[in-house]
Amino acid sequence: MEKLIIEGGRPLEGRIRVSGSKNAALPILMASLAVDGPVTYTNVPNLRDINTTLRLLELLGCATTFENGVVTVTPGTLVPEAPYELVKTMRASVLCLGPLLARLCEARVSLPGGCAIGSRPVDLHIKALEKMGATFDLDAGYIYGKCDGLHGAHIQFDFPTVGGTENLLMAAALAEGETVLINAAREPEVVDLANFLIACGAKISGHGTSIITIEGVKRLSGCEYRIMPDRIEAGTYLCAAAITDGEIFLEDCPVFELEAVIAKLREMGVYIEEREGGVLARRNGGGIHGVDVVTLPFPGFPTDMQAQLMALMCLAKGSGMIKETIFENRFMHVQELKRMGASITLDGRSAMVRGVAGLIGAPVMASDLRASASLVLAGLAAEGTTEVQRIYHLDRGYENIEQKLEAVGARIRREQE
Protein backbone atom coordinates (compact mmCIF):
# COMPACT_ATOMS: atom_id res chain seq x y z
CA MET A 1 0.00 0.00 0.00
CA GLU A 2 1.23 3.49 -0.86
CA LYS A 3 1.11 6.88 0.85
CA LEU A 4 1.83 10.50 -0.06
CA ILE A 5 4.43 12.52 1.83
CA ILE A 6 3.78 16.26 1.67
CA GLU A 7 6.06 19.03 2.95
CA GLY A 8 3.61 21.90 3.29
CA GLY A 9 3.80 25.67 3.40
CA ARG A 10 4.73 26.48 -0.22
CA PRO A 11 2.51 28.65 -2.46
CA LEU A 12 1.65 26.81 -5.67
CA GLU A 13 2.31 28.72 -8.89
CA GLY A 14 2.06 27.63 -12.50
CA ARG A 15 -0.24 25.81 -14.94
CA ILE A 16 -2.20 22.59 -14.57
CA ARG A 17 -4.16 20.90 -17.35
CA VAL A 18 -7.50 19.50 -16.25
CA SER A 19 -7.86 15.82 -17.14
CA GLY A 20 -10.90 14.15 -18.66
CA SER A 21 -13.79 13.49 -16.31
CA LYS A 22 -13.85 10.17 -14.48
CA ASN A 23 -17.56 10.50 -13.69
CA ALA A 24 -18.34 11.15 -17.36
CA ALA A 25 -15.96 8.55 -18.78
CA LEU A 26 -17.25 5.61 -16.71
CA PRO A 27 -20.87 5.61 -17.95
CA ILE A 28 -19.82 6.54 -21.48
CA LEU A 29 -17.41 3.58 -21.57
CA MET A 30 -20.23 1.35 -20.26
CA ALA A 31 -22.40 2.66 -23.08
CA SER A 32 -20.03 0.87 -25.48
CA LEU A 33 -22.11 -2.23 -24.64
CA ALA A 34 -25.10 -0.61 -26.35
CA VAL A 35 -23.16 0.14 -29.55
CA ASP A 36 -22.68 -2.42 -32.31
CA GLY A 37 -19.49 -0.95 -33.82
CA PRO A 38 -16.04 0.25 -32.75
CA VAL A 39 -15.84 3.43 -30.64
CA THR A 40 -12.85 5.71 -30.07
CA TYR A 41 -12.77 7.90 -26.99
CA THR A 42 -10.30 10.75 -26.44
CA ASN A 43 -9.39 12.75 -23.31
CA VAL A 44 -9.80 9.65 -21.14
CA PRO A 45 -8.02 9.92 -17.75
CA ASN A 46 -5.63 7.12 -16.74
CA LEU A 47 -7.24 6.11 -13.45
CA ARG A 48 -7.81 2.93 -11.50
CA ASP A 49 -11.58 3.04 -12.10
CA ILE A 50 -11.06 3.51 -15.84
CA ASN A 51 -8.79 0.47 -16.04
CA THR A 52 -11.25 -1.54 -13.94
CA THR A 53 -14.01 -0.57 -16.39
CA LEU A 54 -11.93 -1.67 -19.37
CA ARG A 55 -11.26 -5.05 -17.71
CA LEU A 56 -14.99 -5.41 -17.09
CA LEU A 57 -15.79 -4.56 -20.72
CA GLU A 58 -13.33 -7.23 -21.85
CA LEU A 59 -14.99 -9.82 -19.58
CA LEU A 60 -18.34 -8.81 -21.08
CA GLY A 61 -17.06 -9.46 -24.63
CA CYS A 62 -15.46 -6.22 -25.86
CA ALA A 63 -11.90 -5.73 -27.08
CA THR A 64 -10.23 -2.61 -25.66
CA THR A 65 -7.03 -0.61 -26.00
CA PHE A 66 -5.86 2.38 -23.94
CA GLU A 67 -2.87 4.56 -24.79
CA ASN A 68 -2.10 8.27 -24.27
CA GLY A 69 -5.64 9.18 -23.26
CA VAL A 70 -7.25 7.35 -26.20
CA VAL A 71 -9.48 4.32 -25.63
CA THR A 72 -10.88 2.12 -28.36
CA VAL A 73 -13.67 -0.35 -27.65
CA THR A 74 -14.69 -2.94 -30.22
CA PRO A 75 -17.81 -4.94 -29.29
CA GLY A 76 -17.66 -8.67 -29.86
CA THR A 77 -19.92 -11.47 -28.69
CA LEU A 78 -21.35 -10.04 -25.47
CA VAL A 79 -21.85 -12.10 -22.33
CA PRO A 80 -24.35 -11.04 -19.64
CA GLU A 81 -22.42 -11.46 -16.37
CA ALA A 82 -20.45 -8.79 -14.46
CA PRO A 83 -18.53 -10.65 -11.69
CA TYR A 84 -18.15 -9.65 -8.07
CA GLU A 85 -14.34 -9.56 -8.29
CA LEU A 86 -14.49 -6.38 -10.39
CA VAL A 87 -17.84 -4.87 -9.41
CA LYS A 88 -16.96 -4.86 -5.68
CA THR A 89 -14.27 -2.23 -6.24
CA MET A 90 -16.36 0.24 -8.25
CA ARG A 91 -19.99 1.23 -7.85
CA ALA A 92 -20.24 2.46 -11.45
CA SER A 93 -20.09 -1.17 -12.59
CA VAL A 94 -23.87 -1.40 -12.08
CA LEU A 95 -24.18 0.84 -15.16
CA CYS A 96 -23.74 -2.22 -17.37
CA LEU A 97 -27.21 -3.39 -16.28
CA GLY A 98 -29.19 -1.17 -18.66
CA PRO A 99 -27.20 -1.70 -21.86
CA LEU A 100 -26.90 -5.48 -21.29
CA LEU A 101 -30.67 -5.80 -20.87
CA ALA A 102 -31.19 -3.70 -24.00
CA ARG A 103 -28.75 -5.74 -26.12
CA LEU A 104 -29.06 -9.29 -24.69
CA CYS A 105 -32.41 -9.20 -22.83
CA GLU A 106 -30.59 -10.53 -19.76
CA ALA A 107 -27.95 -9.41 -17.28
CA ARG A 108 -26.38 -10.85 -14.14
CA VAL A 109 -24.56 -8.10 -12.27
CA SER A 110 -23.03 -8.26 -8.81
CA LEU A 111 -24.26 -5.73 -6.29
CA PRO A 112 -21.74 -2.88 -6.45
CA GLY A 113 -19.03 -1.57 -4.13
CA GLY A 114 -17.03 1.68 -4.13
CA CYS A 115 -16.46 4.40 -1.56
CA ALA A 116 -17.90 3.92 1.93
CA ILE A 117 -19.72 7.27 1.98
CA GLY A 118 -23.23 6.02 2.58
CA SER A 119 -26.14 4.15 1.08
CA ARG A 120 -26.45 4.44 -2.68
CA PRO A 121 -29.13 1.84 -3.43
CA VAL A 122 -29.73 0.50 -6.92
CA ASP A 123 -33.43 -0.10 -6.27
CA LEU A 124 -34.29 3.06 -8.24
CA HIS A 125 -32.53 1.56 -11.28
CA ILE A 126 -34.39 -1.73 -10.88
CA LYS A 127 -37.85 -0.19 -10.35
CA ALA A 128 -37.42 1.95 -13.45
CA LEU A 129 -36.23 -0.96 -15.62
CA GLU A 130 -39.18 -3.04 -14.39
CA LYS A 131 -41.49 -0.39 -15.85
CA MET A 132 -39.73 -1.00 -19.17
CA GLY A 133 -40.52 -4.72 -19.07
CA ALA A 134 -37.61 -6.28 -17.15
CA THR A 135 -37.98 -8.66 -14.21
CA PHE A 136 -35.35 -9.13 -11.50
CA ASP A 137 -34.24 -11.67 -8.92
CA LEU A 138 -31.56 -11.29 -6.25
CA ASP A 139 -29.39 -14.41 -6.14
CA ALA A 140 -26.26 -14.80 -3.95
CA GLY A 141 -25.38 -11.12 -4.13
CA TYR A 142 -26.15 -10.80 -7.84
CA ILE A 143 -28.92 -8.88 -9.59
CA TYR A 144 -30.34 -11.15 -12.29
CA GLY A 145 -32.50 -9.34 -14.83
CA LYS A 146 -34.26 -10.56 -17.95
CA CYS A 147 -36.84 -9.36 -20.42
CA ASP A 148 -38.45 -10.17 -23.76
CA GLY A 149 -37.33 -6.80 -25.02
CA LEU A 150 -37.49 -3.41 -23.33
CA HIS A 151 -40.29 -0.98 -24.15
CA GLY A 152 -40.69 2.71 -23.51
CA ALA A 153 -42.29 3.99 -20.30
CA HIS A 154 -42.90 7.14 -18.29
CA ILE A 155 -40.59 6.95 -15.29
CA GLN A 156 -40.63 9.36 -12.37
CA PHE A 157 -37.64 9.11 -10.03
CA ASP A 158 -38.21 9.70 -6.32
CA PHE A 159 -35.15 11.97 -6.38
CA PRO A 160 -32.63 12.90 -9.09
CA THR A 161 -30.36 9.84 -9.25
CA VAL A 162 -27.30 10.23 -11.45
CA GLY A 163 -26.63 6.50 -11.86
CA GLY A 164 -30.30 5.71 -12.34
CA THR A 165 -30.67 8.38 -15.03
CA GLU A 166 -27.55 7.08 -16.80
CA ASN A 167 -28.66 3.44 -16.70
CA LEU A 168 -32.08 4.35 -18.06
CA LEU A 169 -30.64 6.55 -20.81
CA MET A 170 -28.63 3.61 -22.13
CA ALA A 171 -31.51 1.14 -21.83
CA ALA A 172 -34.11 3.47 -23.34
CA ALA A 173 -31.90 4.37 -26.31
CA LEU A 174 -32.51 0.85 -27.68
CA ALA A 175 -35.98 0.22 -26.23
CA GLU A 176 -39.10 0.09 -28.39
CA GLY A 177 -41.07 3.33 -28.25
CA GLU A 178 -40.73 6.49 -26.19
CA THR A 179 -39.33 6.76 -22.67
CA VAL A 180 -39.75 9.88 -20.55
CA LEU A 181 -37.56 10.33 -17.45
CA ILE A 182 -39.12 12.75 -14.95
CA ASN A 183 -37.07 14.24 -12.10
CA ALA A 184 -33.97 13.13 -13.98
CA ALA A 185 -30.47 14.11 -12.87
CA ARG A 186 -29.15 17.27 -14.56
CA GLU A 187 -25.43 16.74 -13.89
CA PRO A 188 -23.01 17.63 -16.71
CA GLU A 189 -21.79 14.01 -16.78
CA VAL A 190 -25.35 12.88 -17.59
CA VAL A 191 -25.43 15.44 -20.41
CA ASP A 192 -22.10 14.13 -21.71
CA LEU A 193 -23.47 10.58 -21.79
CA ALA A 194 -26.58 11.75 -23.66
CA ASN A 195 -24.42 13.64 -26.17
CA PHE A 196 -22.33 10.50 -26.74
CA LEU A 197 -25.43 8.37 -27.34
CA ILE A 198 -26.76 11.01 -29.76
CA ALA A 199 -23.44 10.89 -31.62
CA CYS A 200 -24.03 7.14 -31.99
CA GLY A 201 -27.53 7.65 -33.41
CA ALA A 202 -29.78 7.87 -30.33
CA LYS A 203 -32.80 10.21 -30.26
CA ILE A 204 -32.65 12.09 -26.96
CA SER A 205 -33.96 15.52 -25.98
CA GLY A 206 -34.20 17.46 -22.73
CA HIS A 207 -30.87 16.29 -21.28
CA GLY A 208 -29.61 18.90 -18.86
CA THR A 209 -33.19 19.45 -17.61
CA SER A 210 -35.29 17.41 -15.19
CA ILE A 211 -37.36 15.85 -18.02
CA ILE A 212 -35.54 13.76 -20.63
CA THR A 213 -37.29 12.16 -23.60
CA ILE A 214 -35.76 9.19 -25.41
CA GLU A 215 -37.17 7.70 -28.62
CA GLY A 216 -35.77 4.19 -28.99
CA VAL A 217 -33.85 3.23 -32.13
CA LYS A 218 -33.00 -0.17 -33.60
CA ARG A 219 -29.23 0.17 -33.34
CA LEU A 220 -26.42 2.50 -32.25
CA SER A 221 -23.30 2.80 -34.40
CA GLY A 222 -19.72 3.58 -33.42
CA CYS A 223 -18.18 7.06 -33.44
CA GLU A 224 -15.28 9.11 -32.06
CA TYR A 225 -16.03 11.09 -28.91
CA ARG A 226 -14.10 13.41 -26.55
CA ILE A 227 -14.76 13.07 -22.82
CA MET A 228 -15.56 16.36 -21.05
CA PRO A 229 -13.01 17.87 -18.60
CA ASP A 230 -13.28 16.85 -14.94
CA ARG A 231 -15.11 19.57 -13.01
CA ILE A 232 -14.26 18.03 -9.63
CA GLU A 233 -10.55 17.81 -10.38
CA ALA A 234 -10.69 21.42 -11.59
CA GLY A 235 -12.47 22.52 -8.42
CA THR A 236 -9.89 20.72 -6.30
CA TYR A 237 -7.02 22.62 -7.95
CA LEU A 238 -8.88 25.94 -7.57
CA CYS A 239 -8.94 25.17 -3.84
CA ALA A 240 -5.22 24.27 -3.99
CA ALA A 241 -4.39 27.74 -5.32
CA ALA A 242 -6.42 29.39 -2.55
CA ILE A 243 -5.32 27.22 0.39
CA THR A 244 -1.60 27.71 -0.40
CA ASP A 245 -1.98 31.44 -1.21
CA GLY A 246 -0.64 30.70 -4.67
CA GLU A 247 -1.69 31.35 -8.28
CA ILE A 248 -2.68 28.57 -10.68
CA PHE A 249 -3.87 28.74 -14.29
CA LEU A 250 -6.15 25.78 -15.05
CA GLU A 251 -6.09 24.79 -18.71
CA ASP A 252 -9.33 23.35 -20.15
CA CYS A 253 -11.30 24.27 -17.02
CA PRO A 254 -15.08 23.61 -17.39
CA VAL A 255 -16.42 26.98 -16.19
CA PHE A 256 -20.17 26.50 -16.71
CA GLU A 257 -20.12 23.11 -14.99
CA LEU A 258 -18.27 24.71 -12.02
CA GLU A 259 -20.50 27.76 -11.58
CA ALA A 260 -21.71 26.83 -8.08
CA VAL A 261 -18.16 26.10 -6.88
CA ILE A 262 -16.69 29.23 -8.45
CA ALA A 263 -19.46 31.38 -6.93
CA LYS A 264 -18.76 29.99 -3.46
CA LEU A 265 -14.99 30.42 -3.80
CA ARG A 266 -15.47 34.03 -4.89
CA GLU A 267 -17.71 34.56 -1.87
CA MET A 268 -14.84 33.28 0.28
CA GLY A 269 -12.44 35.81 -1.28
CA VAL A 270 -10.77 33.79 -4.04
CA TYR A 271 -10.02 35.71 -7.25
CA ILE A 272 -11.08 33.66 -10.27
CA GLU A 273 -10.79 35.01 -13.79
CA GLU A 274 -11.83 33.26 -16.96
CA ARG A 275 -9.22 33.68 -19.69
CA GLU A 276 -8.63 32.20 -23.11
CA GLY A 277 -7.90 28.51 -22.69
CA GLY A 278 -8.70 28.30 -19.00
CA VAL A 279 -9.14 29.95 -15.61
CA LEU A 280 -6.76 31.83 -13.31
CA ALA A 281 -7.19 31.44 -9.53
CA ARG A 282 -5.53 33.17 -6.57
CA ARG A 283 -6.45 34.69 -3.24
CA ASN A 284 -7.72 38.26 -3.05
CA GLY A 285 -5.68 40.63 -0.90
CA GLY A 286 -8.12 40.42 2.01
CA GLY A 287 -7.65 36.71 2.65
CA ILE A 288 -10.38 34.07 2.67
CA HIS A 289 -13.55 34.04 4.76
CA GLY A 290 -15.86 31.34 6.07
CA VAL A 291 -19.13 30.76 4.19
CA ASP A 292 -22.20 28.55 4.54
CA VAL A 293 -22.55 25.68 2.06
CA VAL A 294 -25.33 23.19 1.32
CA THR A 295 -24.61 20.29 -1.04
CA LEU A 296 -27.32 19.76 -3.65
CA PRO A 297 -27.83 18.00 -6.97
CA PHE A 298 -26.63 19.98 -10.01
CA PRO A 299 -26.80 22.94 -10.51
CA GLY A 300 -26.29 23.22 -6.75
CA PHE A 301 -22.98 22.87 -4.92
CA PRO A 302 -21.64 19.35 -5.63
CA THR A 303 -21.19 16.87 -2.80
CA ASP A 304 -17.93 15.81 -4.48
CA MET A 305 -16.44 19.24 -3.61
CA GLN A 306 -17.63 19.38 0.00
CA ALA A 307 -14.49 17.89 1.57
CA GLN A 308 -12.12 20.08 -0.45
CA LEU A 309 -13.99 23.27 0.43
CA MET A 310 -13.97 22.22 4.08
CA ALA A 311 -10.17 21.96 4.01
CA LEU A 312 -10.01 25.51 2.64
CA MET A 313 -12.46 26.78 5.26
CA CYS A 314 -10.23 25.41 8.00
CA LEU A 315 -7.88 28.34 7.29
CA ALA A 316 -10.53 31.01 6.64
CA LYS A 317 -11.34 33.99 8.82
CA GLY A 318 -14.46 33.44 10.87
CA SER A 319 -16.64 30.35 10.59
CA GLY A 320 -19.04 28.65 8.23
CA MET A 321 -21.58 25.83 8.21
CA ILE A 322 -21.43 22.96 5.72
CA LYS A 323 -24.60 20.88 5.35
CA GLU A 324 -24.35 17.56 3.49
CA THR A 325 -27.69 16.52 1.96
CA ILE A 326 -26.61 13.87 -0.56
CA PHE A 327 -24.67 11.18 1.38
CA GLU A 328 -25.09 10.43 5.06
CA ASN A 329 -21.51 9.34 5.82
CA ARG A 330 -19.52 11.99 4.01
CA PHE A 331 -17.81 13.63 7.00
CA MET A 332 -15.27 10.89 7.70
CA HIS A 333 -12.43 13.30 6.80
CA VAL A 334 -13.38 15.59 9.70
CA GLN A 335 -11.50 13.63 12.37
CA GLU A 336 -8.39 13.53 10.19
CA LEU A 337 -8.50 17.30 9.59
CA LYS A 338 -8.87 17.81 13.34
CA ARG A 339 -5.67 15.79 13.83
CA MET A 340 -3.98 18.54 11.84
CA GLY A 341 -5.38 21.28 14.09
CA ALA A 342 -8.69 22.08 12.39
CA SER A 343 -11.63 23.29 14.50
CA ILE A 344 -14.75 21.45 13.27
CA THR A 345 -17.89 20.52 15.18
CA LEU A 346 -20.24 17.89 13.77
CA ASP A 347 -24.01 17.80 14.32
CA GLY A 348 -25.61 15.07 12.24
CA ARG A 349 -25.29 16.07 8.60
CA SER A 350 -23.90 19.54 9.41
CA ALA A 351 -20.36 20.65 10.20
CA MET A 352 -19.44 23.97 11.78
CA VAL A 353 -15.94 24.95 10.60
CA ARG A 354 -14.11 27.66 12.57
CA GLY A 355 -11.00 28.99 10.89
CA VAL A 356 -7.64 28.55 12.60
CA ALA A 357 -4.34 30.38 12.12
CA GLY A 358 -2.59 27.34 10.66
CA LEU A 359 -2.59 23.58 10.25
CA ILE A 360 0.14 21.21 11.44
CA GLY A 361 1.34 18.25 9.41
CA ALA A 362 0.40 14.81 10.76
CA PRO A 363 -0.14 11.22 9.64
CA VAL A 364 -3.73 10.98 8.33
CA MET A 365 -5.79 8.25 6.71
CA ALA A 366 -8.07 8.65 3.70
CA SER A 367 -11.54 7.11 3.93
CA ASP A 368 -12.81 7.82 0.42
CA LEU A 369 -11.88 9.54 -2.83
CA ARG A 370 -12.81 13.14 -2.04
CA ALA A 371 -11.68 12.86 1.58
CA SER A 372 -8.27 11.95 0.18
CA ALA A 373 -8.22 15.18 -1.84
CA SER A 374 -9.15 17.28 1.21
CA LEU A 375 -6.26 15.80 3.19
CA VAL A 376 -3.82 16.50 0.36
CA LEU A 377 -5.03 20.12 0.26
CA ALA A 378 -4.62 20.44 4.01
CA GLY A 379 -1.13 18.94 3.78
CA LEU A 380 -0.12 21.42 1.09
CA ALA A 381 -0.95 24.31 3.44
CA ALA A 382 0.19 22.77 6.74
CA GLU A 383 3.42 23.47 8.55
CA GLY A 384 5.68 20.42 8.54
CA THR A 385 5.15 16.98 7.06
CA THR A 386 1.84 15.29 6.31
CA GLU A 387 1.52 11.60 5.44
CA VAL A 388 -1.68 10.70 3.62
CA GLN A 389 -2.23 6.96 3.92
CA ARG A 390 -4.50 4.68 1.87
CA ILE A 391 -4.16 6.78 -1.27
CA TYR A 392 -5.58 4.01 -3.45
CA HIS A 393 -8.80 6.00 -3.04
CA LEU A 394 -7.08 9.02 -4.58
CA ASP A 395 -5.89 6.99 -7.56
CA ARG A 396 -9.51 6.19 -8.39
CA GLY A 397 -10.26 9.80 -9.29
CA TYR A 398 -7.16 11.98 -9.79
CA GLU A 399 -4.79 11.45 -12.69
CA ASN A 400 -1.10 11.99 -11.83
CA ILE A 401 -1.97 14.20 -8.88
CA GLU A 402 1.51 14.32 -7.35
CA GLN A 403 3.14 15.07 -10.72
CA LYS A 404 0.68 17.88 -11.40
CA LEU A 405 1.17 19.40 -7.95
CA GLU A 406 4.95 18.98 -8.07
CA ALA A 407 5.01 20.86 -11.39
CA VAL A 408 3.50 23.94 -9.68
CA GLY A 409 5.87 23.87 -6.71
CA ALA A 410 4.52 21.34 -4.23
CA ARG A 411 6.94 19.14 -2.29
CA ILE A 412 5.11 15.87 -2.60
CA ARG A 413 6.20 12.30 -3.21
CA ARG A 414 4.76 8.78 -3.17
CA GLU A 415 6.20 6.07 -0.96
CA GLN A 416 5.36 2.52 0.06
CA GLU A 417 3.86 2.28 3.52
Q: Are residues 204 and 233 in the same domain?
A: no
Contacts with 124 (C-beta within 8 Å, 6 or more apart), sequence order: 157, 158, 161, 164
| Domain that includes residue 217, residue range | 22-226
Q: Is 200 a catalytic residue?
A: no
Q: Are residues 303 and 268 in the same domain?
A: yes
- The reply to whether 122 sits in an annotated binding site is yes
Q: Are residues 305 and 192 in the same domain?
A: no
Q: Are residues 47 and 65 in the same domain?
A: yes
Report the phi/psi class of residue 68: left, alpha or beta, with left for phi > 0 and alpha for psi in -120 to 50.
left
Residue 113: band (very low, low, confident or very high) from pLDDT cuts 50, 70, 90: low
Query: Which listed residue (115, 147, 239, 314) is catalytic?
Result: 115
- The reply to whether 120 sits in an annotated binding site is yes
pLDDT: is 417 or 312 the higher one?
Answer: 312
Tens of pLDDT, residue by residue over 227-282, are 999 999 999 999 999 999 999 999 999 999 999 999 999 999 999 999 999 999 99
Residue 118: band (very low, low, confident or very high) from pLDDT cuts 50, 70, 90: very low
Choosing from 201, 226, 251, the residue where a domain stops is: 226
Give the CA distances from residue 125 to residues 132, 145, 156, in Å, rounded to whole numbers and listed in that order: 11, 11, 11
CA gap 398, 298 in Å, rounded: 21
Residue 286: band (very low, low, confident or very high) from pLDDT cuts 50, 70, 90: confident
Q: Are residues 246 and 352 in the same domain?
A: yes
For the chain, the average pLDDT equals: 94
- The reply to whether 411 sits in an annotated binding site is no
pTM summary value: 0.94
Tens of pLDDT, residue by residue over 210-240, are 999 999 999 999 999 999 999 999 999 999 9
Q: Are residues 238 and 344 in the same domain?
A: yes
Residue 119: band (very low, low, confident or very high) from pLDDT cuts 50, 70, 90: very low
pLDDT: is 86 or 400 the higher one?
Answer: 400
Q: Are residues 250 and 167 in the same domain?
A: no
- Is residue 83 predicted with pLDDT exceeding 90? no
Choosing from 196, 226, 256, the residue where a domain stops is: 226
Domain count, the chain: 2
Say which CATH number the domain at 119 has: 3.65.10.10
- The reply to whether 264 sits in an annotated binding site is no
Q: Are residues 245 and 142 in the same domain?
A: no
CA gap 301, 303 in Å, rounded: 7
